[in-house]
């Protein structure tokens, strides 16, 4: 007997609406007017069914900054945003550069149980960029770490980066690089351009990202390793990736929702809710990133969900920490910037939000087809719905967001993780 029947959803927004019956966490049947036979029914008329979203880039802040987010609050935000798996970045306090910390994060995620929490391990000890962390031990731990990153900081030393890329080949893992040449970004506050110069904000030049991406692509090809580029933010980086992929480099890349939607025009208020690393670029960059995502040069969307306390945002620009909330606004921004303008169909949304990130991170049970026998790990989206963002209403502990008061299209109606409803109608249910 089915435990749940989803009635009248359109898988990938294609074809006739169908019913999806779920049994033992697996899709048991897909067809017209399936018999609910006492099972829970989700009326999904007018909704699009997608595989559950996978976020390669989330800051859950636990351990260390539980005043801004915890694994529990972040898991709630993820479920409400349609996510069924998130990768928790390593820049916690203490840093996730050893098996003890990554296993803690992994276990805590399992206890909460709303979303699969996969810890990202640090590439270098203490994120200092000097000495490789025990990557193999983390990979072989219960947390089975497959993504390593010093995110927030760049593995700038070319020799350390080369060794990290080479070493992870044996672990079937990938290095996710925060591409930022540190010597070119000393004191950097905002995208280096005419506007930041006028506002007296020290520049973060595009070339500081592009030069590292180019170097790392060359290194990855040279040693035959896989590379993942975090939060691509410039048109130039997209061009470098196109070139590198063209010559057979095993490189993948992500773009954040905020780099698709926002640009450096936001600097004029000096409001640090708009401060983020890499910084908001020009509208030309944002447009180029949308095109790169549509064509697959940039593989996927990752949120870089980065909660910060109000005192670290409601202050002067240079004192503020970089980062913004992202889990609950990611899909709506993808709808706004990609689906509604016709750059991406729902099949494409499934690709960039779920399938590609699952492949990049090597998750066997996420990003799967919506088909009989596959895990019932699904997100139901109302494409016609609209909502207004209120930071205080988001599930994260931190409440500041650059999207405050913004009306966005696309509402996540329900999220299912292996058949269990984790979020429904804006409420966490599991």
Nearer to another protein, 187 or 373 (CB): 187
User: What backbone phi and psi angles, to 5 degrees, belong to 54?
Assistant: -125, 120
Q: Using CA atoms, how far apart are residues 45 and 308, in angstroms rounded to an integer?
A: 38
Q: What strand order describes the sheet that includes 83-88?
A: 53-58, 83-88, 116-119
Residue 310 sits at φ, ψ, to 5 deg, of -60, -35
DSSP notation for 307-325: ---GGGTSS-GGGSPP-B-
List CB contacts of 165: < 8 A, sequence separation 6 or more.
175, 216, 219, 220, 223, 225, 226, 227
Pick out residues in 176-195 that bind another protein (CB under 8 A). 189, 192-194
Pick the stretch among 22-30, 121-129, 268-276, 323-331 that binds another protein (CB under 8 A).
268-276
Catalytic residue of the set 97, 263, 299, 304: 304
| Interacting positions 295-314 with another protein (CB under 8 A) | 311, 314
Angular region, 373: left φ>0, alpha ψ -120 to 50, beta rest: left
Is position 385 an interface residue for another protein (rule: CB under 8 A)?
no
Is 304 in the active site? Answer: yes
Cβ proximity of 59 and 307 under 8 Å: yes
How many angstroms separate the CA atoms of 356 and 363, rounded? Answer: 10
The residue (of 90 and 201) whose beta carbon lies closer to another protein is 201
- Which position among 33, 131, 198, 390 is part of the footprint of another protein (CB under 8 A)? 198
Provide the minimum distance between the beta carbon of 312 and another protein in the complex, in angstroms, as a whole number. 10
Considering only 23, 287, 317, 391, the residue that binds another protein (CB under 8 A) is 317
> Is the Cβ of residue 194 or residue 265 nearer to another protein in the bound state?
194
315 part of the interface to another protein, by CB under 8 A:
yes
* Closer Cβ to another protein, 141 or 282, answer by number: 282
The answer to the question of whether 191 is labelled as a binding residue is no
DSSP H stretches of helix in 141-272: 158-168, 194-199, 206-223, 235-246, 257-261
3-state secondary structure of 86: strand
- To the question of whether residue 91 is assigned a binding role by annotation, the answer is yes
For residues 361-383, b (16+ Cβ closer than 10 Å) or e, as one string? bebeebbbebeeeebbbbbbbbb
* Binding range to another protein, per CB under 8 A, among 70-78, 233-241, 288-296, 316-324: 316-324
Return the number of the residue (200 or 341) whose C-beta is nearest another protein.
200
For residue 38, state whether it binds another protein (rule: CB under 8 A).
no
Which of residues 199, 207, 309, 343 is near another protein by CB under 8 A? 199
Stretch that binds another protein, among 42-50, 108-116, 147-155, 266-274 (CB under 8 A): 266-274
- At CB < 8 A and 24+ separation, what contacts does 196-205 make? 196/264, 196/267, 199/267, 199/268, 199/270, 201/267, 201/317, 201/318, 204/180, 204/277, 204/278, 204/279
| Single residue of 98, 137, 318, 429 touching another protein by CB under 8 A | 318
**16 belongs to the binding site for another protein (CB under 8 A):** no
127 is in an annotated binding site: no
Q: Is 322 annotated as a binding residue?
A: yes
Say whether residue 316 binds another protein (CB under 8 A). yes
Q: For another protein, which is the closer residue by CB, 235 or 299? A: 235
List, by residue number, the catalytic residues: 304
Q: Residues comprising the binding site for substrate?
A: 59-61, 91, 277, 308, 322-323
Q: Residues comprising the binding site?
A: 57, 59-61, 91, 151, 178, 231, 277, 304, 308, 322-323
**Which residues here bind another protein, judged by CB under 8 A?**
189, 192-194, 196-203, 269-271, 311, 314-319
């Amino acid at each position: 007997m089915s435990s749940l029947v989803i009635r009248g959803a359109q898988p990938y927004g294609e074809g006739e609406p169908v019913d999806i019956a779920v049994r033992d966490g697996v899709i048991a049947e897909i067809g017209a007017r399936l018999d609910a036979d006492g099972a829970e029914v989700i009326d999904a008329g007018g909704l699009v069914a997608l595989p559950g979203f996978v976020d390669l880039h989330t800051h859950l802040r636990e351990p260390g900054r539980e005043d801004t987010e915890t694994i529990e609050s972040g898991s709630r935000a993820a479920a409400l945003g349609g996510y069924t798996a998130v990768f928790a970045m390593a820049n916690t306090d203490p840093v996730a550069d050893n098996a003890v910390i990554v296993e803690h994060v992994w276990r805590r995620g399992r206890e909460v149980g709303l979303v699969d929490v996969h810890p990202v391990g640090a590439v270098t000890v203490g994120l200092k960029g000097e000495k490789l962390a025990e990557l193999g031990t983390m990979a072989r731990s219960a947390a089975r770490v497959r993504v390593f990153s010093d995110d927030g900081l760049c593995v700038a030393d070319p020799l350390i980066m080369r060794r990290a890329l080479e070493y992870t080949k044996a672990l079937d893992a990938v290095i996710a690089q925060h591409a930022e040449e540190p010597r070119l970004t000393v004191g950097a506050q905002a995208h280096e351009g005419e506007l930041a110069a006028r506002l007296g904000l020290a520049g973060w030049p595009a070339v500081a990202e592009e030069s590292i991406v180019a170097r790392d692509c060359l290194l990855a090809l040279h040693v035959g390793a896989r590379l993942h580029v975090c939060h691509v933010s410039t048109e130039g980086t997209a061009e470098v990736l196109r070139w590198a992929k063209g010559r057979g480099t095993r490189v993948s890349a992500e773009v954040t929702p905020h780099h698709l939607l926002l640009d450096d025009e936001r600097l004029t208020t000096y409001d640090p809710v708009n401060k983020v690393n890499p910084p908001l670029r020009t509208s030309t960059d944002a447009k180029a990133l949308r095109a790169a995502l549509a064509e697959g040069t940039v593989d996927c969307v990752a949120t870089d969900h980065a909660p910060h306390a109000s005192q670290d945002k409601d202050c002067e620009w240079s004192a503020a920490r970089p980062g913004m909330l992202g889990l609950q606004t990611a899909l709506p921004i993808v709808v706004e910037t990609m689906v509604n303008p016709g750059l991406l169909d729902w099949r494409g949304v499934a690709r960039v939000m779920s399938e590609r990130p699952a492949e990049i991170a090597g998750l066997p049970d996420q990003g799967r087809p919506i088909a009989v026998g596959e895990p019932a790990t699904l997100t139901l989206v109302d494409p016609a719905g609209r909502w207004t963002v209120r930071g205080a209403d988001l599930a994260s502990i931190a409440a500041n967001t650059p999207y405050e008061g913004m009306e966005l299209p696309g509402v996540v109606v329900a999220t299912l993780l292996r058949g269990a409803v984790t979020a429904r109608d804006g409420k966490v249910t599991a």
